[in-house]
Amino acid sequence: MPETMSNQLPDVAERFMRYVQVDSQSNPENDTVTPSTPAQHEMARYLGEELKALGCTDVTVDEHAYVTGTFAASKGAESAPALMLCSHLDSVIDAPASGIKPHVVYYEGGDLVAGVVNGKTIATTQEQVPDLKDFVGMDIICSDGSTLLSADDKAGVAEICALLKRLGDNPELAHPTLKIAFVPDEEIGHGASLLDLEKLGAAYGYTVDGEALGEFNYECFNAAHADVYFKGVMVHPGSAKDVMVNAITVASEFQQMVPAFERPEHTEGYEGFYHPIAIEGSASEVKLSYIVRDHDSQIFANRQQVLQDIAAFLNKRYGENTVRVEIHQEYRNMAEKFDGYEFLIDYALEANREVGIEPKPVAARGGTDGAQLTFRGLPCPNIATGGYNAHSVREFIPVPSLKVTVDLLEKLVAKFATRG
């Protein structure tokens, strides 16, 4: 396992730099197994030992790489309902994530250079991330530019563990019983799906995931995955006239009929989208995969129907069963489930302000483990970690952002110490 990087860094940054060096990338091509990669077992075992060292009891690392533990309440808060804190331990497949080499850059302005890879400078400009101007004079953690950093979501893991360290060292700090959960395969849609909520025993909780400080999510997309299958009719091309149906051609027509202005690269805020993410096959058979997203449940349903309608149109043109659409539901907009739990939102907004951050409630253009947990009966909005450029080799996180998130979590958990 990695050794401590530097005695000069705050505890949370030292932890973060250790954790990112443990490979734990998930793999959507192996999504019938949880975890989808053996590396996540190693990360889970490592975090299980971390929780034990931090004073947690009932620490469990199960066969699916779910890590759970209990941190005892402060004196006088034993009767308060237990609060869960959750982060995911996997890294995304969108960029290389093995052999991460984090390093600290003292940022003096201009481009933030992560490293040089094959003679190419890997940098983030202030035009790309306007918040960079606020980080002049700060230490910023980057990868070497050849991999992502894995702040999504090992920053969240480190911030939770650093909170436990602080609470253990300062028993006068108020907090209820804390239920800790680190879950695998969030990046491929599994996340907290196998977390045993009855055994965990929390009344409600927060995920610690996401990006810029102050961003707070209690709304998210409704999400589905659509696989579209195209069946061609193959004959010798020399005698193909009026007989051949080329599956590649039909797939291309299908994609051209999906509204072009409703793709991720043309949408923002509450605007949903259709996003083609993979294609494979030949002139005989093609599989085209989409993710479908929208915050509004009715528009979300309409989007799914659009795909079915395009398939029906093409089947009339090319013959029945030429195109087949299979839609798999992934998660729902958790905003539907916070009636009676508005205090979870209020407490988070207050905690942000108490550490000097003006909160920005944002409808997440994605999903968190909290969406799944909320629909399973454990209301769970999301706290940001302070990272930027997630899923990219340009990913970075300022060291002060890591520390202030721990401060925020300290303020947040104190609010639950006297809740009946």
Got the DSSP string for 185-207?
A: -GGGT-GGGG--HHHH--SEEEE
Six-digit token string for 9:
């860094």
CB burial class (10 A; 0-12, 13-18, 19+) of residue 98?
exposed
**3-state SS class at 284:** coil
Tell me whether residue 196 is one of the annotated catalytic residues. Answer: no
Active site residue 90: yes
Catalytic residue (choose from 23, 153, 186, 294): 186
Neighbours of 46 (CB within 10 A): 18
Residue 335 DSSP code: G
Angle at 408 between CA 407 and CA 410, to 5 degrees: 65
Q: Token pair of 241, please?
A: 């006239």
- The answer to whether 202 and 383 are in contact (CB under 8 A) is no
Q: What is the DSSP string of 69-101?
A: EEEPPPTT-TTSPPEEEEEE--B-SSS--SS--
Whether 209 has a binding-site annotation, put simply, is yes
How does DSSP assign 395-417, residue by residue?
-EEEHHHHHHHHHHHHHHHHTTT
Residue 391, annotated ligand binder? yes
Query: Which position among 50, 90, 159, 407 bears the catalytic label?
Result: 90
| Residue 88 annotated as lining a ligand binding site | yes
User: Exposure string (b/e) for 149-175, b if CB count within 10 Å is 16 or more?
Assistant: bbbbbbbbbbbbbbbbbbbeeeeebbb
Number of H helices, E strands in the chain: 9, 17
- Phi, then psi, of 325 in degrees rounded to 5: -110, 125
Which residues are catalytically annotated? 90, 186
Binding-site residues for Zn(2+): 88, 152, 187, 209, 391
Annotated binding site: 88, 152, 187, 209, 391
